Structure 1
Amino acid sequence: MAYSTDDLVQRLKKPAGIRSVRLGDAKVTYVPDGAARLRPRDLLPDTPGEVWDARPEFLDTSGNLVVSIGGLLVENGDRALLIDVGIGPHDSHASQGPVATMHGGALLDSLAALGRRPEEIEAVAFTHLHPDHIGWAWHPAPGGDRPPFARADYLMSEPEWAHRGVLEAQGMSKEMAGLAPSVRTVADGQEIFPGVRMRIGAGHTPGHAEYVITSGGQRLIAFGDAMLSSIQVEHPEWPLAFDGDPVPAADYRRRLVADLAEPDTIGFGIHFADVVFGHVRRDGDRPTWRPLDASSVGDDL
């Protein structure tokens, strides 16, 4: 099934459902937890106003960017890895700032729809420690007093964990304490699961990581919050409000977009509306995001 123009416009205005692609012996699946609506001019403050007038397909009826919140399930035979775990039970609304609304809490139900129980996840790998990526790693499971993935190792880059004090100072001491017993730090380039290696990026957080999944002559790059919307593929130079260090973050995005354009490469943008899997292709002078046809929950996963 190829996306029609009308279908693509609709997908850009809603969060992703469960979607899956295969890479050789591996299956990778987006596992929804929730969604957010972001104010585009606050999120990308250096964008000219006419950009959004010219690109209304990216905005919902309230004029906001719709982003997905969830995780990426990587399965190889009976083994399972989860990259990021959503925000967990959460519902917020703000009258100003980049985040207009955010809600979560569906990830465990999404896993159940895929036939996976939390105790079957051998490791949880994190791109970084922002709240919308670690929620179910510290929040107790419904009806219990321990997180649902308490049996799993929590994997993250060494510099990300080393700088957790910044988040503790911002009021996230409870979250960091909840993660600490299970954390195992990972070095740049280390393999963490069959065919899955971590690479440290730059700029968004001190140790923001991407995960490269290789199988069957293809690779998939799960790039976390390096980009939050597929429009950023066209403009990697645009500063992102949530980047801790904007200049290296923009340099990293440029390198990432070039890497995603390489042959046999699939990108995974965890926040990319209902177009989380895609290829980067040239459209005139600009790279663009071309959504990949992916099985939905109603298809043969």
Structure 2
Amino acid sequence: MGDRDALRRPAGVRSVHLGDTKVSYVPDGAVRLRPRDLLPDTTGEVWEGHPEFLDESGSLVASIGGLLVENGDRALLIDAGFGPRSWPPAPDGPRGAIHGGALLDSLSALGRRPEEIEAVALTHLHSDHTGWAWHPAPGTDRPAFAHADYLVSAQEWARRDLAEAQEVAGLAPRVRTVTDGQEIFPGVRMRIAAGHSPGHAEYVITSGGQRLIAFGDALHSPIQVGHPAWSSAFDHDPVHSADHRRRLVAELTEPGTIGFGVHFADVVFGRVRQDGDRPAWLPLDA
């Protein structure tokens, strides 16, 4: 991996062109994660052997944001960040300090206003993906995307009891459920990739003979690409999650396929290539 510091900092705005479609990472904030708590099957020796993944505090740095998909005048947002708020580190478990708040400024830097987003497609209902979809925008009493449809897999919405009640209540008036394989935007299809949550969704974007898989929280860190059996402590069903991750990693090795890892520090866009006896994440700008 070329720029090793990229694994220790949150991602900035990044864009990729797929034929007539432009996809851009829209930063909102970041979260620090305790690596052994996040990936319980790892050991201290694993992380001692991979110091490039850890910042000066020994934490994994995970980006938080969304993916802007533009086709002509139309625009779709996949995931809505954490919103304009911050939480201190949890006393135990994987999560360190987390903050959001930059997503609207990031959209503006990409030349888009919130009212131009026709739909917000959610990979799942965790708070670091739904923030701006329900949290009031600064200076208002309404969410920034209150005019848009919120697209959620039918399986995920059926188990909304597992999400934060306040957030679900904020989303409910705008939710439109979608089914496995459904096209939600030109060249964009939702598919179920359950394991991280009951109805976790991935979005497959196809244009210009290329394919991009926005795989949400099926992978939290590039280190999992070489070790797909390592499930996250946040996974609802770790066994199912690992099974899916093995298939996903294999799919990402296929020609013309790009991955988008929303939490992948400053290497959110990449391909999977063989590195010795294991697959590895190769950032697009490496």
TM range (shorter): over 0.9
Partner SS, residue 238 of structure 1: coil
Give CA-to-partner distance per residue, 1:32-75, whole Å, 9 cap, x none.
00001100000001112211000000000000000000000000
Q: Which residue matches 1:143?
A: 139
97, 101, 107: which one aligns with 2:103: 107
Is the aligned partner of 1:41 residue 2:36?
yes
- Write the mapping of 1:157-236 to structure 2, written as runs, cut at 5 A: 157-167=153-163, 172-236=164-228
Q: Give CA-to-partner distance per residue, 1:256-292, whole Å, 9 cap, x none.
A: 0001111000000000000000000001110000000
The corresponding residue for 2:242 is: 250
Q: Deviations over 1:73-95 (max 9, x none)?
A: 00000000000010001212224
Partner residue in 2 for 1:297: none
Q: Distance in 1 between matches of 2:162 and 2:97?
A: 24
Is residue 133 from structure 1 mapped to residue 129 from structure 2 by the alignment?
yes
2:274 paired residue number? 282
The DSSP-based 3-state class of the residue aligned with 2:8 is coil
Secondary structure of 1:237's aligned partner: coil
Whole-Å Cα distance in 1 between the matches of residues 195 and 211 of structure 2?
24
SS in 2 for 1:73: strand
**SS state at 2:173 partner:** helix
1:65 and 2:57 correspond = no
Kindly provide the CA deviation profile for residues 99-149 of structure 1, in whole angstroms up to 9, marking residues without a partner as x: 111110110011111111100000000000000000000011111111110
Letter paired with 1:61: E
Partner of 1:154: 150
Match of 1:77 among 72, 77, 80: 72
Query: Is 1:123–2:119 an aligned residue pair?
Result: yes
State the SS of the aligned residue for 2:65: strand
The answer for the alignment partner of 1:51 in structure 2 is 46
Deviation at 1:28, TM superposition (A): 0.1
Root mean square deviation, CA, Å: 1.0
Question: Tell me, what secondary structure is at the counterpart of 1:175?
Answer: helix
**How many angstroms does 1:293 deviate by?**
2.1
The residue that corresponds to 2:230 in the other structure is: 238
Match of 1:27 in 2: 22
Amino acid at match of 1:142: P
| SS class of match (1:259) | helix
2:162 and 2:36 map into 1 onto residues whose CA distance is 26
CA separation in 1, counterparts of 2:285 and 2:49? Answer: 26
Offset at residue 97 of structure 1 (A): 1.6
Residue segments in structure 2 that go unaligned for 5+ positions in a row: none
Q: Once the 2 structures are TM-superposed, how far is the Cα of residue 174 of structure 1 from its aligned partner?
A: 1.4
Q: Tell me the equivalent position of 1:16.
A: 11
State the SS of the aligned residue for 1:12.
helix
Moved more, 199-208 or 87-96: 87-96
Residue 166 (structure 1) shift = 2.0
Q: What letter corresponds to residue 290 of structure 1 in structure 2?
A: L
5+ residue gaps, structure 1: 295-301
Q: Distance in 2 between matches of 1:42 and 1:108?
A: 31
> What is the rounded CA distance, in whole Å, between the counterparts of 1:50 and 1:141 in structure 2?
44
